[in-house]
Amino acid sequence: MPRLTEQEQQEIIRFLEADKPLPDKYRFLLFEEKREVELVWNSKTSEVCSIVLPFQVIEQVDEPRAEKPEQTALQQGLFDERGRQLKGWTNKLIWGDNKLILSSLKNGPLREEIEKQGGLKLIYIDPPFDVGADFSMDIEIGGDTFTKKPNILEEIAYRDTWGKGADSFIAMIYERLALMRDLLAEDGSIYVHCDWRVNTGIKLILEDVFGRNNFQREIGLSTGWALGFKTSANNWIRQHDTIYYYSKCKIDFIFNRQYGEYPVDYTKRARKDENGRLWVDQSLGNISNEKLDAMKKEGRVFETKTGGWRKKQYLDEMEGVLLGDIWTDISPINSQAIENLQYPTQKPEALLERIIKASSNEGDLVADFFCGSGTTAAVAEKLGRKWIACDLGRFAIHTTRKRMIQVQRELKKDSKPYLAFEVLNLGKYERQFFFGVPANIPQEQQEKLLEAKYEKYVDLILEGYSAQRIEGHRLLHGKKAGRFVHVGPLNVPVTKTLVEEVFEECRENIITQVDILGFEFEMGLVPYIKDELRQQGVEIRFRYIPREVFDKRAVVKGQVKFYDVAYMQVKPQINGKTVKIELTNFTTYYTQDDLEELEQSLKRGSSKVVIENGQITKLAKDSNGILKRELLTEKWTDWIDYWAVDFDYESKKEIIRLNENDQVKEVWTGNYIFENLWQSFRTKKNPKIELVTAPHTFAKAGKYKIMVKVVDIVGVDTSHVVELEIK
C-alpha cells in the first residue's frame, strides 16, 4: 500500500510549485524513520563541522624544575639540564572558535596524540547562557577601576546569538556538544553547567546528543544566596544552578565516590563505645552466620530490641558521608577570596575539584572548551591530570596563562610534579579557511588559490576599515580621511622589505601619510619606522587587522576596530656570557572609547574611566556640569600586565602536522616557537612588575636572537627581537 494518497501527492506538488515549505506531517509520511519524541528547531541538521586546521604554537611555558640527579628510570630523558620538559604530553591552551578547534581536534593529527593519553576522559563546560550577558571586565589601574569591553567576536558570538532567539543558541551548542561527544573516550563523561535560563533546552539537547540512557544525574549547586537575602523578589528565592552529568556509555564509565563532612544531625545520633569512639548503626545486609559471629567477638555489632543485629560503623573509619546530587557545601567566590581573578564567570576551585576527582583518575586527560579564567585547567594540574582548555576571548587566554604559570610555581615550591603547557591558535589557517583555502593541500596550490582571491580579500579589509578603494597604484589599495591604505598579506607577516616598497611608492607619488594594515608584523618594525622613514617625509602608521573583520555582522554595524601596533624598548645588560634584559619603555595606541562623545553623554555627579589613544583617563562631571579629566596612566609601566623573554628565540622550530592525501606530514612553518624562559606579571597579591630579568647564562659564544613579549592590561600582546653576540 503506498504511503501517500493521490490527494497527498497532489498537495505536495502544489506546495513545491508555490515554493512553500511542506507541512510538518510530511516529515513522518515521507521518511521511514519514526521517532516517538524529536527535538526540532529552525535549520536543524545532523551534519557537524568536519574542518581540519593545523594548530600553530604561539608560546611554550614550563617553569624550570630543580630536578635531583637521582631521577627514576621513568624520568630519565624527560627533562633537560635546565629542568624543562623535553618530551611527553604538553597541556594545551587554545585561543579561537571552539567549533573549529573541536573539529580539528576530532578529525586532525592531534587526535592520535589524545588517544595515546588514553583518550579524553572528562569534559566540563560552563557555556554562556545569559540573554543579556555582560562580558566586560573591571580592571584596576592605580586606585580606580576601568571597564574593559569584550571584543566584538565575543559579543557577536554570545549576545547576538541570543538576540536571534533560542534556536540560534541551541544550534550553536548542539553542534559543539556533538563534537565533544565524539572526542570523549568510551568511559568518559561530560558535566554541563547552566541555570534557569537554559535548563530545559540544554537537557533536551544533551538527551538528543548523548541519549536518554546515558543521563546520570542532575546536580543542584547552591548559589549561596541565603533565604530572605533578596528581599525585593516577589517569588521563591533562586538558590541553585544546575549541572547535567552524562556519560558516553551507559555502563563502565569512570566514577569515584566522593565524601563530604559529617552533617551535624548525623553526628548527633552517633553513640560512644566504652573507649569514647563515635559510631552509628548501619544495616548488616546479607552476611553469613560465621561472619556475624566474628563481628560479635570484635564488638562490631549490637542486638536490637526486636532481637536482630545491626552494625556499629565507627566514624573514624569512614571517609565521610557519601555525597548526593544536591551540593550546598561549595561556596561561590567572594570579592575577598584568594582565588578571585575578578573574571565575571569564574567558578570556585572546590567545584571543579569534586567533579575532576569523581570522573577522572590521575594521569587522565580532561578538557574545558569555554575555559574563561582557567579554573578547570588549574585544578586539573594540581590534581595530576592532563588538560586541554580553549576560549574565544583573548583576555580569557591571557588570564589562564598567568594562572597556570602561578600554579606551576606553587607546585614547584611544594616539590610536586607538573607538565609544560603550550598556547595554540589556528592562526593564518583560520584566516585562509574564511576564504575557502584548505590547509591540507600543497603550499603551491594554497598560494594559487590565495592569489585568485586576493582582490576579494583586499575589498573585505577595506570595507572593514571604512576606506574607499582606489586604482592606479601598485601597493596602495585604498584611501581613508586623506590617508592612503595598504592591505598587508593574509598569511604572512608584513616585512621590512614590504614596508620599504610601500614607502618608495609613496615618495614617488608625493604621498605623505599611509596606513599599513596587517595581521602580523615583522619584529622591530615600529621603532625602525619611527626612527628612520618618518624623517624622510612619509608618516607610516601600522595597524592590526582584527579577526572581527571576517564577521559581516560586525562590519555592517561598524564595530570593527583597527588599532595601532604598540612598540617597546629593551636594553640588554651583558656581562661575559651572562645577559639580563631590561624593559625600558612601552607605548600603546589602544582605543576603546570616544572621549568627546562620553563628555556629552556623562550624567552630572557621575564619573567614568575611559581608554583613548593609549591613555586611560578618569572623566568626572560635577553637580554643576563641570568636567574634569584625570590621567590615570601616568607612567608607561601602568600599561604592562605581563612580559616574558625567550633568550634563544630561534632554537626551536615550529613544526605543524598536516593531513595530505590521508598521510600525516610534518612541515616547518618558517616560524619559531617562543619558549617562555622568564616572566613577570601582576597578580592580585602582588601587583608589581619587575623590569629587569633574572640573569641568563649562555652555554657557548655565538650570535643569538632574544625575543621579548609584552601583554598589556587589556590583553593585547606585542613582541620585539633583540640580536646580540656573546663572545
Task: Check residue 209 and give its pLDDT.
Answer: 93
Q: What is the pLDDT of residues 479-528, one digit of tens each?
A: 998 899 999 998 888 988 999 999 999 989 999 899 999 998 887 676 66
Question: Is residue 29 scored above 80 in pLDDT?
Answer: no
pLDDT band at 710 (very low <50, low <70, confident <90, very high): very high
DSSP string, 255-273: ----EEPPPHHHHHT-EE-
The pair phi, psi for residue 260, each rounded to 5°, is -115, 175
User: What residue ranges define each of the domains in the chain, with the CATH number in brackets?
Assistant: 1-34 (no CATH), 56-258+323-425 (3.40.50.150), 260-321 (no CATH), 448-564 (3.40.1350), 567-726 (no CATH)
User: Residue 165: which pLDDT band, with cuts at 50, 70 and 90?
Assistant: low
**pLDDT above 90 as % of the chain:** 37
Residue 143's pLDDT is what? 53
- Whose cell is 553469613? That residue is 288
- For residue 163, what pLDDT is reported? 45
The string of DSSP codes covering 384-398 is: T-EEEEEES-HHHHH
Give me the pLDDT at residue 83, please: 79
Give the tens place of pLDDT for each residue, 411-462. 999 999 999 999 999 888 888 888 888 877 777 888 888 888 899 999 999 9
pLDDT tens string 241-267: 899 999 999 889 999 999 888 777 777
The whole-angstrom separation of Cα 229 and Cα 256 is 36
Q: Is the pLDDT of residue 477 over 60?
A: yes
Question: 66 pLDDT exceeds 70?
Answer: no
Over residues 98-111, the mean pLDDT reads: 94
Burial of 495 (0-12, 13-18, 19+ CB in 10 A): middle
- Spatial separation of the C-alpha atoms in residues 258 and 261, rounded to whole Å: 10
Which tens digit of pLDDT belongs to each residue from 350-391?
Answer: 999 999 999 999 999 999 999 988 999 999 999 999 999 999
Name the burial class of residue 304, with classes exposed (0-12), middle (13-18) and buried (19+) by CB atoms within 10 angstroms of its CB.
exposed
> For residue 306, which amino acid is it?
T
Looking at residue 43, its pLDDT comes to 65
Side chain identity at residue 696, one-letter code: H
